[in-house]
Amino acid sequence: MNQKVLKTLEYDKILIRLADHAYGDETKARCLSLVPMTNREEIRLAQLQTMDAISRIIKKGRFDCSGVMDLSDSLDRVSIGGTLGAEELLSFCRLLSAAKHVKYYGTVEREDLPSDSLTDFFDGIEPLTSLCNEINRCILSPEEIADEASSTLHSIRRSIRGMNDRIHNQLSQMLGNSTTRGYLQDAVITMRDGRYCLPVKAEYKSQVQGMVHDQSSTGSTLFIEPMSVLNLNNELRELFLKEQEEIQVILATLSNQVAEYIPEIKEDYRILVELDFIFAKAAYGLEYNGIAPEFNTEHRIRIRKGRHPLLDSKKVVPIDIHLGEEFDQLVITGPNTGGKTVSLKTVGLLTLMGQAGMPIPAGERSELAIFHEIYADIGDEQSIEQNLSTFSSHITNIIDILAHADADSLVLFDELCAGTDPSEGAALAISILTHFHERGIRTMATTHYSEIKVFALSTPGIENACCEFSVETLSPTYRLLIGIPGKSNAFAISQKLGLSAHIIEEARQHISDSEQNFEDLIADLEHSKRTIEKEQLEIERYKAEITELKKQLEAKQEKLDHRREQILREANEEANAILREAKDTADEAIRNFNKYGHTVPTAKEMEAQRAKLREKMSENDKRLAKQKKETPANQNVPKNLRIGDSVKVLSMNLTGTVHTLPNAKGDLFVQMGILRSQVNIRDLVLLETPSPKKNYGKTGSGKLKMSKSISVSPEINLIGKTVDEAIAVLDKYLDDAYIAHLPSVRIVHGKGTGALRNAVHAHLRKQSYISTFHLGEYGEGDAGVTIAEFK
């Protein structure tokens, strides 16, 4: 891709914004040098990786790998046996710490979740935790090695501290001597060249035996090392040398350990840079709500709701553009500042971004073609040094484009052949467009020439478009209308601004009838286009309403059919039961008849049998009458239910608490003791929660539990709280829920960075009355919810 078009379409500004989202210096450099690709599979993979990174950022946030730097020079030195300094070793430690953090970030929460295109990157990281821990144990800072780095170093430093104490004691005794103190400028112990000295007045130099190491600027004070501590200072100097030798041994040992893992460290750094680069694209794409477009090799462009990424997302007007299906050239006309140039740049810039593996700011199902080159002649490029006018500079660019453009190129012209005589410029522009059209090169051009509008109307494969302009507000709407040539609106704008009507009318006389008819035709076409678009929107809305009504009707019919089958099944079962009961009664009567045929029954026995039959018939009549009696409808259906409200389930004659809110059908879950059942809202009656009465007497635990069970909700929402605030609220809530005998609770903490979720899990592990806890399943809130069960 030629570098000139990257600057013309402001692709370089996109890269600068992309680099701002990268952490490492090498990643920033890679972002600034990102160029569009032409291989379809490479583009598809880059887009897939970027969208997978966006999904991970939405779920977990973005990992931080700042501080990671290129350590190839240090690795080259240790590979030949060199020793690294403390600062270099700490740089390796930062790299490995970042690798460990990113490795943990990439782990999936459940094994049954599918992997994505980034899984192999995360799996390939080797955090080398043991090496990182060893470096941290030995090196506290670039200037300090830990005493525990080795037993030898620990022993040497203990000897140094002991020697310091001996020297201080010896010098303190001298300071305590009144005679010696009179020789001193100040009663302090100081150091010169790493040796302990006393500040002696110059005139008493001979009174203090020792070695002079320094003197004050005025010469009145000499810094003398007394003879009594000379040997002790020598021993201290030897201990300092041994300390430095041992530190070099420790650094050499750590360097050798680093050398054992050179391949792993290089691979970790490569993966971290690659992930940083991919997540930088994802983070930038999230800023403008980018999507991954589809790509084709048929030179077909279809951008839906495309937005220029460098414009304010709150003000930019999305445009729909298609090219390469019914036509291969698009001629855009309309007034200045109407959005013609922005439309050109949007198509070119989105194509570059898409081929570079970046999301594009457009709607779903947008499609881009893969072009090997993009050529653009946009803006005023006149050159005083080269003695080129605006027209000459444009023609120079066009000549270069004509020489290099082919069928795999996208060509963009802004104000084609402007800056010269209109008739000659229009003729030249038509000839250039015809040349590109005959070669099948995808071309977009903006112009004010009416001749080009007529050319586009009369030539198959070339289409007109315009940027809509509102005469009422004298401002462009920035909407792109394909299929309609633009109108200048010069007369309408002038009249709106207050130009005299007779001047405008006289100006109309200078326009030929054909030109006037053409402008009127354009206005009619634009009005018809708007009307059609409005009607299409209404039709789509009606279609959506019809589809929704059809779904509701089908659901209602299905419910009626199900109810009908249920009624028939229950009726058949009841009829069978009646027949069985009638058969049993008849069989018993026959048995009694046969029995009484051989013996003469008493009147008492016969009356008893009749009474038994009458009692059974009476019971059947009562049951049938009760079934026929219409059950009164529930007149107290709750209107605004909330989770935790106390309700009564009429069909089950049980009370409970609302566990979920009703869905579209009115179904919800109610917790009734240990029973959790799905019921319909029409089967519920909201119970009034009794207000607590003041009781200045004794209160028992039974009253406390009753109060808690009434008021405690089975769900708590911690979103928006800090960790400390959330844990305090959660701790009290768990106590209340446990006292209320709730079997389980639902803790909503959100996904975010995971800090609040981890704090909640850590707190739950400490509670003795918590049996188990787990993240919510699909439909329960997923990773943003934790379900905790009590013992």
Residue 11: the pLDDT is: 94
3-state SS class at 790:
strand
Question: How many residues in total does the chain contain?
Answer: 791
Whether 174 contacts 226, CB under 8 Å: yes
CA separation for the pair 570, 140 (Å, rounded) = 81
Flag residues of the chain having pLDDT under 50: 382-387, 628, 691-709
Residue 351: the pLDDT is: 95
Q: What is the pLDDT of residues 455-503, one digit of tens each?
A: 888 889 999 888 876 656 656 677 788 877 766 666 666 777 778 888 8
Residue 728: the pLDDT is: 87
3-state SS class at 118:
coil
Q: What is the pLDDT of residues 596-626, one digit of tens each?
A: 555 556 666 666 766 776 676 667 666 655 5
Q: CB-based burial of residue 425 (10 Å sphere; 0-12 exposed, 13-18 middle, 19+ buried)?
A: buried
Residue 490: the pLDDT is: 67
Residue 697: the pLDDT is: 41
Structure-token pair, residue 788: 């905790």
How many Å from the N-terminal Cα to the C-terminal Cα in the chain? 67
CA separation for the pair 608, 551 (Å, rounded) = 61
CA separation for the pair 127, 104 (Å, rounded) = 10
Residue 206: the pLDDT is: 84
3-state SS class at 192:
strand
Q: Which of 356, 265, 273 is nearest to 25 (CA)?
A: 273
In angstroms, the Cα distances linking 298 to 293, 352, 534 are: 15, 17, 32
In angstroms, the Cα distances linking 734 to 740, 763, 781, 790 are: 10, 11, 20, 9
Structure-token pair, residue 192: 């010169």
Structure-token pair, residue 170: 């010896």
Whether 19 contacts 247, CB under 8 Å: no
Q: Compute how many other C-beta atoms are within 10 angstroms of the C-beta atom of residue 444.
A: 23
Whether 463 contacts 499, CB under 8 Å: no
CA separation for the pair 162, 235 (Å, rounded) = 11
Residue 394: the pLDDT is: 83
Helix (H) or strand (E) run with residue 464 in it: strand 462-470
Residue 156: the pLDDT is: 93
CA separation for the pair 293, 468 (Å, rounded) = 26
At how many degrees (to 10) do helices 230-259 and 262-287 cross? 70
Q: Compute how many other C-beta atoms are within 10 angstroms of the C-beta atom of residue 580.
A: 10
- Sequence-separated (6 or more) residues with CB below 8 Å from residue 330: 321, 323, 443, 444, 445, 462, 463, 464, 465, 482
Residue 373: the pLDDT is: 94
**pTM for the full predicted model:** 0.62
